[in-house]
Amino acid sequence: MYQSYLENSIKQSSKLHSLHNRLSLWRLVSAAAAAVAFYFGYTHGAFFYYLLSALSAACFVILVSWDIRLKKRLCDLADYQAVIHDYQARLGDGWKQFPVHGARYLEGRDAWAHDLDIFGKHSLYQYLCTACTVFGQDQLVYWLSQPQQPGTGSGDAAGSRKNSQQNADASSLHSRQQAVAELAQKTGFTLNFEAAARKLRAQSYDASKKLLDDFFDSLEQAPEKDVSFISRILMFAVPLFTIGSLLCYLLGIGRDASLACFSVSAMLQLTASFAGYWRNNKLLAPVYRMNQTAAPYRRLFALLLQESFESPYLQHLQHELSHSQDAFQELESICASVVTRHNAYAAFLLNSFFSYDFHCARRYLQWKKKYRTAVRAWMQAAGCAEALISLGVIARTKQAHTMPVVTDCKKPELSVTGLRHPLLKEAGAVGNDFAMPHHTCIITGSNMSGKTTFLRSIGVSLILAYAGGYCTALSLRVSRMAVCTSMRTADDINEGISTFYAELLHIQKIIETSKKQAPMIALIDEIYKGTNSKDRVFAAAETVKKLAKPYVLTMLTTHDLELCSMEEDAGVDAANYHFCEHYHKNQILFDYKIRKGKCTTANARYLLQMAGILDQDMDITVPMP
């Protein structure tokens, strides 16, 4: 599908390049004709040559305008092709080179953001994010950072407020899911929408953020007084007098007097523009910096308004943008005018003839007065659309995908079929069916058998479900609950924290969260791996008992088969699961399938032998408890 879109786009580019070459030739001819005709008109004083020069110049301007539009179309096609290449990259590992990876959002995050690779290089965010605007990137982060935490259901006022908030969150989530599902079916629209925003990636996030903040600050400042009536008359009357004097001089009508009038009026305008330069420059500086930003936003608004949507969320965004297109079209024009004044030669001529700076300032003041309160909401609406499109990326890149069913069940529940990790190549990913009727799941298995990946697949799928996006499974049914993890732990020399103590801090946070008596799921990988086996088994058992509550689901992996005996503990609703491997021609083979019961195989000695650490003829049979 993407290859077909790409080939059609390349064909269009080829035709436009051919047309561009022909236009360049005719543009040169018309410019030469205008110059020659003007020369003969000046030397012979004949009106006919001036008319011919004007017609040639008009033809040149038309050709230039056509060529500019043509170049813009070629740039748009290049952006469109870049978007398609990005989708093709997601079918392999090429997405790992995407420049937008969200590492900036990791600071201050809870453990799950690090453990589940939600943000940062080679992360879920890097795979999903198609947003080019600051608002779109921030909105996607916000949705991915909100694992739902339902209220306790108590009958007091606080509990009522929590239940009310929970209902609002559920309604918002359902509305997002509808919007994401609808956009996932509109491949043509989403490709065009992403391409329209592509130019905004030319600036870094920090630069774009500062630019927008400065622009909003200028809008929020009290509007300056508009130009007085007399000043407006002078702004139009003096340029007309200047141009009229010049025409009289060129046509030979009172040449001396007309030249004197032209010189005085032009100098008057230039002096006035110089006197007001600093004031006008301060007023127009934020607009000048918006030059490369206004046009892409206008196109995003236009695409959203032109499309037909059925989901309430998208219709709401369209309603938000009802007046945005005209406003940003005018802003784009103002930006182009302001950019022109930064060319020294153009500024000299335009201010001499038209009092150009004052007209730019007047136009911006009028625009600011009319639209200043709505601009931020419009740009945020475009960002929401970008984030919704990003949440549908999985549906456009994975054959196995589903929109999760998120229930409001008070009791935590989790059931999934065909579960895969979204960051694995689909061809090599193995789907797992899993339901959790018990509150504690103890997973054992050999090294590299798939335990950690399975845990991360569960966690990432929940994050996607609560964000309102697709996940890589055939079906997923889950209740709303907080997501807590303890997977990646490391020592900290500067803080004097050992690996074991670092993990202890993570699990302490999980236990503290469980005290809120709200539904939650705890995902713990290689529990207490930083201490000796005897202490590890004891500590792990006590932790499981501490988390054995009716509103907590606990999933943990371990190499300590002694923990599997907790399945028989009447005080802990636990069940054992495992991953296994088999051997063929001195190779370890995994099927990455989760099975009920505890593990009955181990591969550490085989790995040591394959690495040459153990002799090949040594007996490596491993007795299992």
Nearest to 398, CA basis, from 113, 573, 184? 184
H or E segment and range at residue 137: helix 134-144
Listed range (83-97, 429-443, 450-464, 590-604) with the worst mean pLDDT? 590-604
Q: Which amino acid, 120?
A: G
Tokens of 468: 């309102």
Residue 149 confidence (pLDDT) above 50: no
| Mean pLDDT of the chain, nearest integer | 85
Q: pTM of the entire structure? A: 0.85
Q: What percent of the chain has pLDDT over 70?
A: 88
Residue 150 confidence (pLDDT) above 50: no
Query: What is the per-residue pLDDT for 61?
Result: 86
Residue 442 confidence (pLDDT) above 50: yes
Cα–Cα distance between 283 and 356 in angstroms, integer? 14
More confident residue, 233 or 64: 64
Confidence of residue 152 (pLDDT cuts 50, 70, 90): very low
Confidence of residue 239 (pLDDT cuts 50, 70, 90): confident
| Residues across the chain | 625
Tokens of 511: 């236990």
Query: What is the per-residue pLDDT for 206?
Result: 92
Q: Is 594 left (phi over 0), alpha (psi -120 to 50) or beta?
A: beta
CB 144 within 8 A of CB 125: yes
Confidence of residue 223 (pLDDT cuts 50, 70, 90): low
Query: What is the per-residue pLDDT for 242?
Result: 79
Mean pLDDT to the nearest integer, 513-536? 87
Query: What is the per-residue pLDDT for 82?
Result: 94
H or E segment and range at residue 552: strand 552-557
Confidence of residue 156 (pLDDT cuts 50, 70, 90): very low
Residue 492 confidence (pLDDT) above 70: no
